[in-house]
Amino acid sequence: MTARSALACGVVAVLLASSACRSTSARAYDVPEGVITWAASADRMGAAAAADRGYRLVVHTSVAGRDLRIRLTNAFGDRPVTFDNVYAGIQQRGAELVPGSNRRLTFDGSPSVTVPAGEVVLSDPLPGSLPAATNLVISFHSPDAAGPATGHWMALQTSYATQGDHTAEESATHWTQAIGSWFYLDAVSVRAAARTGAVVTLGDSITDGWQSTSDLNRRWPDHLARRLLQADTHVKGVANAGMAGNKVLTDGPGQSALNRLERDVLSQPGVRTVFLFQGVNDIKAYPGVTAEDLIDGYREIVERVHAAGKCVVAATVLPFKGWSEWEAGTAGVRHEVNAFIRNSGEFDAVTDFDRVLRSPQDPERILPVFDSGDHLHPNDKGMRAMADAVDLQSLDCADPPGTDATP
């Protein structure tokens, strides 16, 4: 085991109580101790922020641990936003919490925190332990939110909103507005068992889970997390950095993979491996994007991830014939890109999603049993097949080139 993958000890129990250009420079974020157990990539939300608004957000954890911390983000705000009360609890049903589980979070010892525009903040560790595969509920209130809101619009998870501050309440009485997005929250981490690490899945709408069943955690990274929980591997945490419509090379929707790599991936604690499955939205821009362009983008991601002391597992791009933007030219680019992924040797490992999901009768199409019907996004069975195709040992990979392997 290397120094970069050695993590703090922990005890597992129960919780009681648009630029459209590429950027080669990236802001550095401090990486806290611990292991990421849940994440969602942030973007500018379509709806404006509202003052005196409360949010009760439901998120599903991966790795177990203690001393949970959350990360609040104002990455796309144009002014500071204050959160005056923040709580963490366990979901009973809907917006109702398990009695006695709702506990206040603090920030440098204070119950309130102001997040500057463009910034993120971490909570203090919350004493107590959090099981794996738990529906954790983060409730918070902002008295002054205004301007652009930051969040993740396609949660595929029902959360709740309310007017006024009802964060301390465990009942669902005041939490009557169901919402399908996560606001201001982009990460949850824990102090996990010794030598435990995490993988971040960097991708687009397929990784984000579009066309999987809402509220059942059937995105392919969710299935992967369940496999890892039962496996003999040190990688247990899974952070989903998928974003619908996202591209590798250019911004919109959201910052490109290159531009969000630092914030969404490399700044997360305990990350051992980045699982790169992205490129179909760039390919759909044909003839504006060539295979060489996309390969250059992959190489930059590999270089930056390796420089951070982590490994990169890449997955081949799925077929999408039948989708409105498919044409022979896009198929050619996809084949070139997949040949590079399979054969270049520049990744630490490769998972061949294309081989697993393509139709033998027409390799440019997803196999009908795995097709959601739009010919681009896999259904629940397809998501499961993708997760089952991942070699779990490849996520617990050896040190990438250029890193210090001294134990």
At 399 the pLDDT is 64
At 398 the pLDDT is 62
pLDDT at 153 over 70: yes
Point out which residues pair with 258 in neighbouring strands.
none
At 241 the pLDDT is 98
Of 28-42, 193-207, 321-335, minimum mean pLDDT range: 28-42
Angle, vertex CA 298, rays to CA 293 and CA 303, nearest 5: 125
Banded pLDDT at 9 (limits 50, 70, 90): very low
At 30 the pLDDT is 75
pLDDT at 22 over 80: no
How much is the mean pLDDT over the chain? 92
Residue 389 host element (H or E) = helix 380-389
Angle, vertex CA 114, rays to CA 59 and CA 185, nearest 5: 15
Of 25-29, 133-137, 350-354, 359-363, minimum mean pLDDT range: 25-29
Contact partners, residue 288, CB within 8 Å, separation at least 6: none
Over residues 31-41, mean pLDDT: 95
At 29 the pLDDT is 78
Q: What is the percent of the chain with per-residue pLDDT over 90, rounded to a whole number? A: 88
In sign, the C-alpha dihedral spanning 267, 268, 274, 278 is negative
On whether the CB atoms of residues 65 and 37 are closer than 8 A, the answer is yes
At 301 the pLDDT is 98
pLDDT at 5 over 80: no
Q: Is the peptide bond before 363 cis (omega within 30 degrees of 0)?
A: no
> Rounded distance, CA 235 to CA 228, Å?
7
Contact partners, residue 292, CB within 8 Å, separation at least 6: none
At 48 the pLDDT is 86
> CB atoms < 10 A from the CB of 177, how many?
15
pLDDT at 49 over 70: yes
- Give the N- to C-terminal CA distance of the chain in Å, as an integer: 6
To 10 degrees, what angle do helices 380-389 and 220-230 make? 50
Contact partners, residue 274, CB within 8 Å, separation at least 6: 199, 200, 202, 265, 301, 305, 310, 311, 312, 313
The structure tokens listed for 80 are 């500071």
Over residues 79-105, mean pLDDT: 98
> Rounded distance, CA 116 to CA 73, Å?
9
> Rounded distance, CA 301 to CA 182, Å?
27
More confident residue, 17 or 172: 172
Q: What is the CA radius of gyration of the chain?
A: 20
Banded pLDDT at 1 (limits 50, 70, 90): very low
Model pTM?
0.92
Give the number of residues written for the chain. Answer: 407
